[in-house]
Structure 1
Amino acid sequence: MCYGISIYLSEPDSLNKDWIQKAAKNGFQYIFTSLHIPEEEGFSFVEKVKWLGKTAQDVHMEIMADVSPASLERLGLTFEELPLLKDWGISGVRMDYGFTAKQIAWLSHSLKIGLNASTVDEAQLAELLNEGLLPNQSEAWHNFYPKPFTGISKQALKDRNELFHRFGIRTMGFVPGDDRLRGPLHEGLPTIEDHRGISAIEAALELRALGTDKICIGDPSLTEETAKGFSFLADDIVPIHASFNRGYEHFWNSIHTNRLDAAECVIRSVESRGMDKVYEQDPSSVDMFGKGWITVDNKLYGRYAGELQICLKSLPANPKVNKAGHVRKESESLLKWIGSGQKYIFLD
């Protein structure tokens, strides 16, 4: 799985540089920018683009740039000169209206190509391939939707992903940020409408489950905590914020794996029973273990002693099981994405 960020050239260089450096530090691998968003006015366009290319190269991040025929005029380039963008640090271009299938196919032999995943249909895709489009040089990029209630459905995204995958083309979708939101509406920039207002981590996990290959933050920033969470997602580890009772603090920053034969009611840690730690019976008495509670089997459970579990629903309490802590509210919605064989980490 590959994660990226969006950079808007009308933002101050200092903010963009800070965002790029924060993203690179947390495992993000590419940058999306638009060279034809109407708000991008009032500065030396070519100098800004070259500055972005150099800044991205310094932290080993790729750039995909949204272009239109009007963008080429502002860049001072003809269509045939687009491959020169590589010298500016731009790896590929997302092309939509204003270009022919023959032009797009030709350019795929020089630059990575981003197609519009939300609008290109199967007939258009077949035409592009007949003209010589290279699938291994192409990606299908979904749109983001600034206006509330205009994002696409989960099923629509899944269907489009499946279409492009049949032709060997990877897909990308956007999730909203959670720090500074992009104006002028400041309503988040998701691809899927249901992702507007939810955590970027949860939205990314759902895009992944729907078959999306690359995920990009649409808004121009994430909080430090969320950016750190993506550093774990980049290694296929779900970050779970938890609180632990006294005696169980050693579970913070520990990585666990849900068993391959995943249980219906609990997430069972593969690693916990090998941690060589013995737990006495907890004298506290409760009737039920709540959803999101983290439990550890005490020594009364024999061969299961030491096993850590996360409750996925309310369960009857058991004297052989201690309450070790609980998943914090902000991470409860992530538990459903810890399926068979999925790794996760407990964070403070």
Structure 2
Amino acid sequence: MGELGISVYPEHTDLKRNFEYIKKAAKLGYSRLFTSLLEIKGSKEDVLEKFKAVIDFANELNFKTIIDINPTLFKQLGIGYDDLSFFKKLGVWGIRLDLGFTGLEEALMTRNPYDLKIEVNMSTGTNYLENIMSYSPKTENLLGCHNFYPQAYTGLSESFVEKYSQLFKKYSLNTAAFVSSNSATVGPWPVQDGLPTIEEDRQRQIELQVEHLKSFGLIDDVIIGNAFATDEELEVVARSFFSAHPVLQVELAETISNVEREAVLDMVHLYRGDTSEYLLRDQNTRVKFKDTSIKAHDTHDIKCGDLIMVNDNYGQYSGEMQIALLDIKNDGRRNVIGKVLESNLFLLKKIKPWSTFLLN
């Protein structure tokens, strides 16, 4: 299990609100904090004082703070890659290089005497990581994190995230990516249309964005990119992230029986390995309800995403819960007892044979 994170932007918000936000998140199990120091406007001392106050508060609650920087900021602050004492004094757990150096500098930075983590940009689309690895970095201090994308239609594709995340996993490096609150408005820049890593996630409910990143099996840490997520969003993100199983949201038919409701909502479902292109078959419900009568009802034709309970008319298969992967005809031996919400159908395609999942 990776770590769950939030983001704060002290130069754009008051300290009290940042403190309250961090405190709420800590109670829900969040443990990573992202912030950005990509540009400093006004008094450098005043800006850094606000950042240090937030970082110190987060440290008291056992957060691991990563601060986003680039080579230009190194020059502005008069810092060399061979001396990271400034960041040690600032109190951060590590630094994220939004733009990198040549590879040699990154490798040398991982060997800093403070064991500060060096998080590199996973979204460059180049052989950047291979170049860093060629200089023998201290891999315990090397992390990866994808970008977020404030501008609509500029986020990453699924295939890109998968390809470049696999490169980092090849070296067993920790990975991270961003989801976006649907109500938050604060980011590092004044204009933003949300801050997700994947473009498809931009308009999705935030818990579905979390499920999406988890579905790759390649992303360790999930961070809410914008501030301030609502209390409800913080809660549903934590619930999704820490769940041992993927969760699909469903709508149940009004005519569903108590037994069928129990089968849907109260069980951990297991996708049978001998797969069909038409139906996802649950391995578990038929065993539990083998001695229970399932009367026929709602036996109309079946649409993709429909929840199905095989009824008594199908003999030994009675009690088996299924989910339709394609539209199919119904001959009266299957009860349609609900459906996976349309917004969740993309997750249905990501459940793999012999894996478990929950319906909620």
Q: Do both proteins adopt the same fold according to a TM-score greater than 0.5, normalized to the shorter chain?
A: yes
Instruction: State the Cα RMSD in Å.
Output: 3.6
**Cα distance 1:38–1:135, how it changes in 2: closer, same or farther (>3 A)?**
same
Paired position in structure 2 for 1:154: 158
d(CA) in 1 for partners of 2:294, 2:141: 58
Question: Where does residue 345 of structure 2 map in the other structure?
Answer: 332
Q: Which residue of the partner structure matches residue 12 of structure 1?
A: 14
| 1:169 equivalenced with 2:173 (yes/no) | yes
Is 11-20 or 232-241 further displaced after alignment? Answer: 11-20
Report Cα offsets for 1:231-286 as digits up to 9, x if no partner. 2343342222223335244343543222233432223223323434724313x454
Q: Is the 8 A contact 1:262 1:340 kept in 2?
A: yes
1:22-171 alignment, distance < 5 Å: 22-37=24-39, 44-68=46-70, 82-83=84-85, 85=87, 89-97=91-99, 101-109=103-111, 110-119=115-124, 121-122=126-127, 124-171=128-175
Deviation readout 1:28-75 (Å, 9 max, x if unpaired):
442221122457989943443334334434544322211246656888
d(CA) in 2 for partners of 1:269 and 1:99?
50
Question: Is the Cα contact below 8 Å between 2:67 and 2:94 reproduced in 1?
Answer: yes
Q: Which residue of 2 aligns with 1:266?
A: 279
Q: Partner residue of 2:308?
A: 295
Aligned pairs, number: 345
Supply the AA of the counterpart residue of 2:355. Answer: Q
Shift of 1:84: 6.5
Q: 3-state SS of the aligned residue for 2:274?
A: coil
Kindly provide the amino acid, as one letter, of the partner of residue 63 in structure 1: T
How big is the shift at 1:138? 1.0
Quote the Cα distance in structure 1 between the aligned partners of 2:325 and 2:20: 38
CA distance in 2, matches of 1:35, 1:214: 21
In structure 1, runs of 5+ residues without a counterpart are none
Per the TM alignment, residue 288 of structure 1 is displaced from its structure 2 partner at its CA by: 0.4
Distance 2:186 2:287 in 1: 47
Tell me the distance in 2 between the aligned counterparts of 1:58 and 1:254.
Answer: 39
Pick which of 1-10 and 201-210 moved more: 201-210
Q: d(CA) in 1 for partners of 2:329 and 2:193?
A: 42
1:212-227 correspondence runs (5 A): 212-222=219-229, 224=232, 227=235
**CA distance in structure 2 between the partners assigned to 1:20 and 1:35 by the alignment:** 18
For residues 168 and 240 of structure 2, the distance between their equivalents in structure 1, rounded to whole angstroms, comes to: 28
Q: Which residue of 1 aligns with 2:292?
A: 278
Q: 1:57 to 1:273 in 2, by over 3 A?
A: farther
Separation in 2 of the partners of 1:43 and 1:221?
Answer: 25
Q: Per-residue deviation at 1:114?
A: 0.8
Residues 1:38 and 1:194: Cα distance change in structure 2 (over 3 Å): farther
Say if 1:11 and 1:267 are closer, same or farther in 2 by CA, change over 3 A.
Answer: farther
The 3-state SS of whatever aligns with 2:204 is coil
The question of whether the paired residues in 1 share the 8 Å contact of 2:278 and 2:325 is answered with yes
The structure with the greater share of residues assigned to strand is 1
Change (3 A) 1:243 1:158: closer
Q: Secondary structure at the match of 1:315?
A: coil
> Does structure 1 residue 237 correspond to structure 2 residue 237?
no
SS in structure 2 at match of 1:288: coil
- TM-aligned CA deviation for residue 120 of structure 1: 7.4
SS in 2 for 1:237: coil
State the 1:135 CA deviation: 2.4
Aligned mates of 2:160, 2:294 — CA distance in 1 = 52
- Partner amino acid for 1:345? L
Identity between Structure 1 and Structure 2 (%): 27
In 2 relative to 1, CA 227–275 (structure 1 residues): closer, same or farther, beyond 3 Å?
Answer: same
CA distance in 2, matches of 1:259, 1:22: 40
Counterparts of 1:241 and 1:29, CA distance in 2? 27
* 1:301 to 1:22, Cα distance in 2 relative to 1, 3 A: farther
For residues 174-185 of structure 1, what are the structure 2 equivalents within 5 Å?
174-182=178-186, 184-185=190-191
Please give the secondary structure, in 1, of the residue aligned with 2:163.
Answer: helix
